[in-house]
Chain A
């Protein structure tokens, strides 16, 4: 099992007292499989994704990634985990505005110490970015920006891809095209995919789906 979550609880402090966002979540995902995480706004989907990515820590429970419980790891170890094991795709793309497309695509792989120019070339071609490698993010369309973000994630060949509403900022046609590309490339790399989405239509295209409601899996 690549990913296993056990009895995860998460609270956020608010003016009216702690808000219980996730309640006793148990979840697992095998290598090479894809799982859709659906739920209404505020149900805790993104929070769960951030906990798996090591961006935040749970208040209770365990998160086992590749056999290691990442809960309690220090900042440096979590940063290494994000560099080497996990790949993140955000709804807002979150590209690095000061770097051009080529540098953005290669950034995470080089940071992880796994630069692979041949694979990058393949990615750029498959993602339709070969003609815009010297452009900067602000000079790209939304669809192009999201394709760069996917390419950046996959360039490092992560074992787990975490995608948070990756097509949420795109129109339906562009979103479908981008998702097709992402699914086929993830499959090619053999990575597992955990994707947060509002859309039942998109969720149905993945191997499995779970639904979050008021912080619980239903």
Chain B
């Protein structure tokens, strides 16, 4: 009985391969985009975990200075003498040629066993490690990047995070120019009894408990949440196709269900057979989807890695590992998604009266009551969105607002379109026009799911492209302000820096130091820069808010400027006091825009910087000179001091590089955007194709009454284009609202800066044309088929005999 029933059910798909293909394709694509995002996130998070676990930071307590500055090596000596089992570590960033790396210096003789990621304490490895020129241990991909650079010998160590090298602490102190300095002390888990209390031995140090999640994981959470939200949106759009295909298949098979029930197949068995059928499809499509997801993820990962490096300084490998959890999650979401999409149809089947007549178009008819209920739900969601916008705060509230706005708008769409089509019908003159509007309105329930998917994709496109374009415009203007100097030079040693300064004194208009130290401000990692009192800053710096005479106050050492992200994250404003590394305090006199910087930044006068941090590295300078002379001066600098090309960069070079980083940052978003739109286009195609098969009984009488097939085909195409155009119009305000939420809420929470919104009518027109083209293509296939349909196929509608 079960087998016979299953054969009868499956025979439906054998006769409708296109519908089956659409169902599988929709589910595969939905799973693919979701899995791609999960694979990327999984890779990135594994990388953060490796970074967080380095030197046992996830298991060992540490001693650090509260202000984040480096401590003197004597602290280590004092603690050891007081009986503490501790091991010194120095950490910093430096360049080896073109490659910027995080350098970790360790003491292999005192390192706790939990921190030993590189086995050097025994055997022949130790001596070369602790004696000049030392050894750098690096992950395979990092070691590969260093092959062309002048470095100490490099050895490969699996398990190290990318972008990090481990070396002896003495060697690291030399490399980082921080003699006798250490960044922190790792504490052994078991300490001797009777040691002197920490407060007495090291009063300036703070105990930091082990943490399983590193700063990177926390810092990049919002980025991954963004990706996940996009993946989920694409998945939801894909589910529209699945829901539509399943609903249609169920309604078209209603006659078969009724017959099977009448012949004695219990309802429970019938439902179980259909669930088994759906699960088979879900698993099949899920497998294809996850595999496709890996292909998409592989294509996107290099850009994601570049983004994470550019925005957060996080190193993520550019290649993917096959992760069982991604496969499991992909298959699970395909199965769950299919069951969710089929729930309504299964529920109806379970309650199907045995003698219910087959209604092939019933699935497409939405009663006015159902439409009304949908309208109420849309209104509730949109009001919820307004409520969150007014009262909510935080990234989660931002995403809840986005979800409520998008879902509310999607649910409201059929109602809005019905109203417009009613109006069109009233204004129509002539029988064909009246039929066109009335028939379009009747088609709406069958197409509304696809149109809702299209609305979501278009609104996301409008929103994200408006955000990116607004960002691009602001960023370009900001770069012009920030990169006002004509040349930027980096000396290799302090002596060389002094010589360069002297050499430039007679040959340039101004030499502006770019000196900085790193530390913690208001509990956040931050860089503190000193600036000279010069028109370059007074005239160009992108100040967002400031007290009067702000530059005079900076010059006299009476205050500090902070970047927007530090101000927003720590809720700091003008007049507030901040404590800077070393324990001294400064009043905030201004806040400036600092796009793309993941950490806080503070600007003080150059004299104040040198006064508080006499050991500050003095290697980098900005040079002002007439633009026409910049190139020859750069050539002169390189020739005079033998500086490598990357140590003398002109303004245009930095701008090109910065814009390149910027564009890569949004490549991923753009790719996901296009893919989502593609899935929505497919949803439209699937709906139009499946509906076209059911259209003949409605079109054949009009043909018989006196319209040509070609004329009908044009009307069908126009119907699709009209609905797409109306959906695009509806998507515009939704997309602009989405852009506003992204710029004013999500970006502020995720990155710490707020951007002004700009509208780009050209971009919107291009998107509208693309949407019309996509729907036009989707509608063109059935229209072409209708135009070339043989009369005998149309006559089958009337033929009760031949």
Chain A contact residues, CB within 8 Å of chain B: 12, 21, 41-42, 44-47, 50, 53, 55-57, 75-76, 78-84, 88, 90-92, 94-99, 103, 106-108, 110-112, 152, 164-165, 168
Which of the residues A91, A106, A107 comes within 8 Å of B800, measured between beta carbons?
A: A91
> How far does the Cβ of B783 sit from chain A's closest Cβ, in whole Å?
15
Stretch with Cβ within 8 A of A (4 or more), from B7-15, B514-522, B700-708: B700-708
| 11 cross-chain CB contacts under 8 A | A41-B801, A46-B799, A78-B708, A79-B706, A79-B707, A83-B706, A94-B704, A95-B701, A107-B431, A107-B435, A111-B707
- Chain B positions within 8 Å of A152 at CB level: 705
> Complex: how many Å from CA A12 to CA B435?
33
Which of the residues B700, B706, B792 comes within 8 Å of A82, measured between beta carbons?
A: B706
The 4 closest A-B pairs by CB, nearest first: A83-B706, A94-B701, A98-B438, A110-B431
Interface string of B705-743 (1 = CB under 8 A from A): 111111100000000000000000000000000000000
Given A12-B792, A46-B800, A96 and B711 contact (CB-CB distance below 8 Å) = no
- Chain A positions within 8 Å of B697 at CB level: 94
Known: A79-B708, A92-B797. 16 other contacts (CB 8 A): A12-B802, A21-B802, A41-B801, A56-B795, A75-B710, A78-B708, A79-B703, A83-B705, A90-B701, A90-B798, A91-B798, A92-B798, A94-B697, A96-B439, A99-B435, A107-B431
Q: Name the residue on B nearest A87 (C-beta).
A: B705
Are B431 and A106 touching (Cβ within 8 A)?
Answer: yes
Interface string of B419-442 (1 = CB under 8 A from A): 000000000001110110011011
> How far does the Cβ of B705 sit from chain A's closest Cβ, in whole Å?
5
Which of the residues A55, A111, A165 comes within 8 Å of B794, measured between beta carbons?
A: A55
Are A55 and B795 touching (Cβ within 8 A)?
Answer: yes
Given A76-B708, A98-B435, A56 and B792 contact (CB-CB distance below 8 Å) = yes
- Chain A positions within 8 Å of B798 at CB level: 46, 50, 90-92, 94, 164
Are A42 and B438 touching (Cβ within 8 A)?
Answer: no
By secondary structure, the B interface counts as helix
> How far does the Cβ of B489 sit from chain A's closest Cβ, in whole Å?
75
How many residue pairs link A and B with beta carbons under 8 A? The number is 100
Which residues, 637 to 661 on B, are CB-close (under 8 Å) to A?
none
Q: Name the residue on B nearest A45 (C-beta).
A: B801
Given A55-B795, A111-B705, A112-B706, A168 and B802 contact (CB-CB distance below 8 Å) = no
Which of the residues B432, B434, B702, B706 comes within 8 Å of A84, measured between beta carbons?
A: B706
Are B801 and A42 touching (Cβ within 8 A)?
Answer: yes
Which of the residues A44, A80, A90, A92 comes within 8 Å of B706, measured between beta carbons?
A: A80
Q: Name the residue on B nearest A112 (C-beta).
A: B706
Are A96 and B706 touching (Cβ within 8 A)?
Answer: no
Q: Name the residue on B nearest A86 (C-beta).
A: B706
Are B442 and A98 touching (Cβ within 8 A)?
Answer: yes
> Complex: how many Å from CA A110 to CA B700?
18
Q: Is B791 in the interface zone, CB < 8 Å from A?
A: yes
Q: Is B698 in the interface zone, CB < 8 Å from A?
A: yes
> Complex: how many Å from CA A156 to CA B302?
69
> Complex: how many Å from CA A91 to CA B708?
22
Are B705 and A108 touching (Cβ within 8 A)?
Answer: yes
Which residues, 682 to 710 on B, are CB-close (under 8 Å) to A?
697-698, 700-710
> Complex: how many Å from CA A76 to CA B801?
27
Are A82 and B704 touching (Cβ within 8 A)?
Answer: yes
> Complex: how many Å from CA A107 to CA B795?
20
> How far does the Cβ of B712 sit from chain A's closest Cβ, in whole Å?
10
> Complex: how many Å from CA A21 to CA B802?
8
> Complex: how many Å from CA A96 to CA B705?
11
- Chain A positions within 8 Å of B701 at CB level: 90, 94-96
> Complex: how many Å from CA A42 to CA B700?
22
- Chain A positions within 8 Å of B441 at CB level: 98
- Chain A positions within 8 Å of B709 at CB level: 75
- Chain B positions within 8 Å of A75 at CB level: 708-710
Are A92 and B704 touching (Cβ within 8 A)?
Answer: no
Which among B697, B709, B798 has the highest number of chain A CB atoms within 10 Å? Answer: B798
Are B799 and A98 touching (Cβ within 8 A)?
Answer: no
Interface string of B222-254 (1 = CB under 8 A from A): 000000000000000000000000000000000
- Chain A positions within 8 Å of B792 at CB level: 12, 56
Which among B438, B706, B709 has the highest number of chain A CB atoms within 10 Å? Answer: B706
- Chain B positions within 8 Å of A165 at CB level: 800
Interface string of B655-677 (1 = CB under 8 A from A): 00000000000000000000000
- Chain A positions within 8 Å of B791 at CB level: 50, 55-57
- Chain A positions within 8 Å of B435 at CB level: 96, 98-99, 103, 107
Are B706 and A55 touching (Cβ within 8 A)?
Answer: no
Are B800 and A92 touching (Cβ within 8 A)?
Answer: yes
Are B704 and A53 touching (Cβ within 8 A)?
Answer: yes
> Complex: how many Å from CA A164 to CA B799?
9
> Complex: how many Å from CA A106 to CA B434?
11
- Chain B positions within 8 Å of A82 at CB level: 704-706
Q: Name the residue on B nearest A198 (C-beta).
A: B801
- Chain B positions within 8 Å of A56 at CB level: 791-792, 795
- Chain A positions within 8 Å of B797 at CB level: 92, 94
Are B801 and A88 touching (Cβ within 8 A)?
Answer: no
